[in-house]
A and B are shown apart, each in its own frame.
Chain A
Amino acid sequence: MSDIHREAYKEEAYELLADLETSLLELEQSPDDQELVGRVFRAMHTIKGSGSMFGFDDIANFTHEIETVFDLVRNGEMPVTKMLIDLTLQSRDCIRMMLEEQEDDEDRTSQISSAFQALLPGASSGTRDRGAVTSAASSSDNPVTYRIRFRPDKDIFAHGTNPIPLLNELRGLGTGSVVAQLDSIPSLEEYDPEACYTFWDIILTTDNTIDTIKDVFIFVEDQAELTIDAVDEDLAGEDGHEKKLGEILVERGDVTGEDLTRALGEQKKLGEILVNQGLVSPGKVQAALLEQEQVKKVKEKQKQQESVSSIRVPAERLDKLVDLVGELVTVQARLTQKAGIENDPDLLLISEQVQRLTEELRDNTMSIRMLPIGTTFGRFKRLVRDLSGELGKEIELITEGAETELDKTVIERLNDPLVHIIRNSIDHGIEHPAVREAYGKPRTGVIHLSAQYAGASVLIKIKDDGFGLDTDTIRTKAIEKGLMAADAELSDKELFGLIFAPGFSTAKEITNVSGRGVGMDVVKKTIDTLRGSIEVESEKEKGTTITLKLPLTLAIIDGLMVKVDEGYFVLPLSAVEECIELSHEDLARTNGQHLVNLRGQLVPYIRLRESFGFEGQVPDLEQVVITETGGHKMGFTVDQVIGEHQTVIKSLSRVYKNVDGVSGATIMGDGNVALILDVNRLAQAV
């Protein structure tokens, strides 16, 4: 089995496991929801079926009993209990470990398997498998009948693929028939032992969508021809009669209309005539007859046309596309610049058209990278459930704005910080039920996780109704750690900012939930690298709210282009507040201190000329770009403010990776490179 196929299986299995976890947690809340039971069953069924096909026999074997138990649940023969949910969640974790090919904890897996076996009411699990699937799947309200032709490439065996499990998986989706077409099998003289000569006609009546059917073939889609047509839409012919064999054969393209008309001149059975005349093979007639029979059986004739709503594309291809669009944006900027210099009307027209198309392409490509944050939110339900149980607390997680979309890279990197914050809320924030009652609060604490758009950013709020941050404890700890002077007077906001300092932890004892003091500073660093910001608000005994502000995308930013001597720099526009002038007189007034008077408020500034070692002549009037980061204002002195710039971010090579204060670079229209400043880092360095 090739690694590509195993990787494809793993990718799909991870998605299924994520869906499984969400379904189980929802099922715990609504144990009678048959749709959820069905989702759990289908996830297990697919993990098992595909696992067996792609050499993950351990997963297939392990999943078998669980699938069987959920089959019983689905048929109303077993209730959904907390124990069942617990066991299934543990199984899900075991399957994940097997997928990651971590060392097996055999004791754990065998304990779980035994627990599931114990749930079975003495019935042989193997015998109920396929029949049960079929009966349950056929109980849908709106089944649709599909005509499927699956014609694998001749060399499919060489890829290690065995088509039979695919056929069984299809059977698992509903009722119907599978007919192998054997006409292409040659006699032994011409037979190539490694070739697949068989193809299949399948009639399937199912309540699953066409996408689910396609998913069965996902690992062989580039090694096979696959056609899937819904035949339910016109179960009956135009005048209301059921379709005749000839009509079906013509529709399938197995016989032409002319051949049919000619054959109908005979008085024998049509199938017999067509076979006798060698126009169609008996296998094809059989498949068509089965379709006719199947369609007759289907009572529901509701139209349910499913269009192809999505396709699966590897993330690397998407990243490559984004890179190419980035290059295109750069070249387009050069073209625009050149057209402006040449001032040729034709060239200007072309340049404007290219600019318009490029912008549209850029926006479209960026939108493809956007994913709803709900996928990440789903995981935290499990975290809250398990940890609150472990700590004997009662906590409910409420999520809001799951549909808010963020760049996939931001979402991927956001997971760990959110885990840290939520763990902290569970461990330090929400009190034990008895304590809450003593404070007149409901026993169950609430963590509210929400996402919402705010301009070109997304705000993610993690709000709990726990004890709140204790300013006295933070102050004591900060003094003890040397993070503030003993006599310093800090505002609450400044004090709360100290929890992000490395090594800071106020937990009285270290638990395995949080309290090792390695969490919040890592959170801050990660959010910084995402060019985001973090704010804490807290009220004693009422709760804490942590707000993360994140950019929608990491690939392209709106920047402010500035110039210092011969060097170009870009500041993220989201951090820029305003620009003011700085004259030699202003400099003299502050006695050389880097402070500027902004409507009565003194704002420190950094001279980029000094930071980057430019030695050229200083202009008479410099510009100060005022930015705001982490609640503080900071200015950056430059020679000239050029203006807004759509900045395609390029990573710096390894040599420059660790340069503080620079987060990347961009290529300008004329081919020059401009450095993108990391405003946070530069401000912290002062």
Chain B
Amino acid sequence: MIDIRLSELEGIGIIALGGELTIAHAQELRTSLKEAVDGYRSVVVQFGDIADIDLSCLQLLCSAHKSAVKQEKAFAFGEHVPAIFTQVFADAGFIRDTGCSLGSGATCLWAKEATHG
């Protein structure tokens, strides 16, 4: 079961994610991320207790970031990034020295400074 909660703090959309962040719940996660990105000028992802996570979730977060950059909005992870999450995205080879074509290294979700700094 995936756990998604969307809330607002001073105009910033806070999307809290927990539970099973896997392909089985990818559709649900996509809908919620779209709602957050479309609905707020900035979005912060806060991670709760993650039971499981797979590649589909990493891709979706990357996709949400791209949507946000296109709309000139900010999309970032909150302060606490759980070990299970960093382990999976390191295993998946997502760690970046520099950002993607859309954004600079500083805003990339997977840039070393952003996740390990």
Residues on A close to B: CB < 8 A? 157, 162-164, 167-168, 177-180, 182-183, 185-189, 191, 193-194, 196-198, 200, 202, 275, 278, 281-283, 285-286, 289
Cα–Cα, bound, A583→B23 (Å): 84
Contacts of B70 in A (CB 8 A): 187
Q: Does B10 contact A (CB under 8 A)?
A: no
Contacts A180-B92, A187-B70, A191-B60 known; A282 to B99 CB distance under 8 Å? yes
Nearest CB in chain B to that of A201: its residue: B93
Contacts A162-B55, A194-B26 known; A185 to B62 CB distance under 8 Å? yes
Contacts A157-B56, A186-B63 known; A193 to B29 CB distance under 8 Å? yes
Contact assessment for A164 and B54 in the assembled complex, using a CB-CB cutoff below 8 Å: yes
Nearest CB in chain B to that of A197: its residue: B59
Contacts of B91 in A (CB 8 A): 164, 167-168
Nearest CB in chain A: distance from B21 CB, A: 12
Question: A281 touches which one: B30, B94, B100 (CB < 8 A)?
Answer: B100
Q: Does B44 contact A (CB under 8 A)?
A: no
Contact assessment for A188 and B64 in the assembled complex, using a CB-CB cutoff below 8 Å: yes
Q: Add 8 more A-B contacts to A185-B62, A281-B100 (CB < 8 A).
A: A179-B93, A182-B94, A182-B100, A188-B37, A281-B101, A282-B96, A282-B100, A285-B98
Cα–Cα, bound, A193→B96 (Å): 23
**Interface of chain B, helix or strand or loop or mixed?**
helix
Nearest CB in chain B: distance from A278 CB, A: 7
Question: A180 touches which one: B27, B29, B63, B94 (CB < 8 A)?
Answer: B94
Contact assessment for B66 and A278 in the assembled complex, using a CB-CB cutoff below 8 Å: no
Query: What would be 16 A-B contacts, judged by CB atoms less than 8 Å apart?
Result: A157-B23, A164-B91, A164-B92, A167-B92, A180-B93, A182-B62, A185-B59, A186-B66, A189-B34, A194-B56, A198-B59, A200-B93, A202-B93, A282-B100, A283-B96, A283-B100
Contact assessment for B88 and A164 in the assembled complex, using a CB-CB cutoff below 8 Å: yes
Nearest CB in chain A to that of B103: its residue: A282
Nearest CB in chain A: distance from B41 CB, A: 16
Contacts of B23 in A (CB 8 A): 157, 193-194
Contacts of B34 in A (CB 8 A): 188-189
Contact assessment for A189 and B29 in the assembled complex, using a CB-CB cutoff below 8 Å: no
Cα–Cα, bound, A179→B112 (Å): 13
Contacts of B58 in A (CB 8 A): 198
Nearest CB in chain B: distance from A197 CB, A: 6
Contacts of B60 in A (CB 8 A): 188, 191, 193
Contacts of B49 in A (CB 8 A): none
Contacts of A185 in B (CB 8 A): 59, 62-63, 66
Nearest CB in chain A to that of B27: its residue: A193
Q: Does B42 contact A (CB under 8 A)?
A: no
Nearest CB in chain A to that of B89: its residue: A180
Nearest CB in chain B to that of A200: its residue: B93
Contact assessment for B100 and A286 in the assembled complex, using a CB-CB cutoff below 8 Å: no
Nearest CB in chain B to that of A152: its residue: B55
Q: Does B45 contact A (CB under 8 A)?
A: no
Q: Does B14 contact A (CB under 8 A)?
A: no
Q: Does B97 contact A (CB under 8 A)?
A: yes
Nearest CB in chain A: distance from B84 CB, A: 12
Question: B101 touches which one: A180, A193, A196, A278 (CB < 8 A)?
Answer: A278
Q: Does B15 contact A (CB under 8 A)?
A: no
Nearest CB in chain B to that of A180: its residue: B93
Annotate B73-117 by CB proximity to A: 1 below 8 A, 0 otherwise.
000000000000000100111101111110000000010000000
Contacts of A178 in B (CB 8 A): 92-93
Nearest CB in chain A: distance from B64 CB, A: 6
Contacts of B56 in A (CB 8 A): 157, 193-194, 196
Nearest 7 pairs between A and B by C-beta? A178-B93, A193-B26, A187-B67, A180-B93, A188-B67, A193-B27, A188-B34
Contact assessment for B26 and A188 in the assembled complex, using a CB-CB cutoff below 8 Å: no
Contacts A162-B54, A183-B101, A193-B27 known; A198 to B92 CB distance under 8 Å? yes
Question: A187 touches which one: B26, B66, B92 (CB < 8 A)?
Answer: B66
Contacts of A186 in B (CB 8 A): 63, 66
Contacts A282-B100, A286-B98 known; A188 to B30 CB distance under 8 Å? yes
Cα–Cα, bound, A497→B90 (Å): 68
Nearest CB in chain A to that of B34: its residue: A188
Nearest CB in chain B: distance from A57 CB, A: 13
Most chain A CB within a 10 A radius of its CB, from B29, B37, B59: B59
Contacts of A200 in B (CB 8 A): 93
Cα–Cα, bound, A191→B93 (Å): 21
Contacts of A177 in B (CB 8 A): 93
Cα–Cα, bound, A372→B3 (Å): 56
Nearest CB in chain B: distance from A260 CB, A: 19
Cα–Cα, bound, A198→B88 (Å): 14
Contacts of A197 in B (CB 8 A): 59
Contacts of B54 in A (CB 8 A): 162, 164
Contacts of A289 in B (CB 8 A): 97
Cα–Cα, bound, A350→B46 (Å): 77
Cα–Cα, bound, A347→B97 (Å): 71
Contacts of B101 in A (CB 8 A): 183, 275, 278, 281-282
Contact assessment for B93 and A193 in the assembled complex, using a CB-CB cutoff below 8 Å: no
Nearest CB in chain B: distance from A615 CB, A: 74
Contacts of A278 in B (CB 8 A): 101
Contacts of A180 in B (CB 8 A): 92-94
Nearest CB in chain B: distance from A14 CB, A: 28
Contact assessment for A282 and B98 in the assembled complex, using a CB-CB cutoff below 8 Å: yes
Contacts of A202 in B (CB 8 A): 93
Cα–Cα, bound, A186→B70 (Å): 11
Cα–Cα, bound, A216→B30 (Å): 31
Contacts of A196 in B (CB 8 A): 55-56, 59
Nearest CB in chain A to that of B98: its residue: A282
Contacts of A283 in B (CB 8 A): 96, 100
Nearest CB in chain A to that of B54: its residue: A162
Cα–Cα, bound, A164→B59 (Å): 13
Nearest CB in chain B to that of A168: its residue: B91
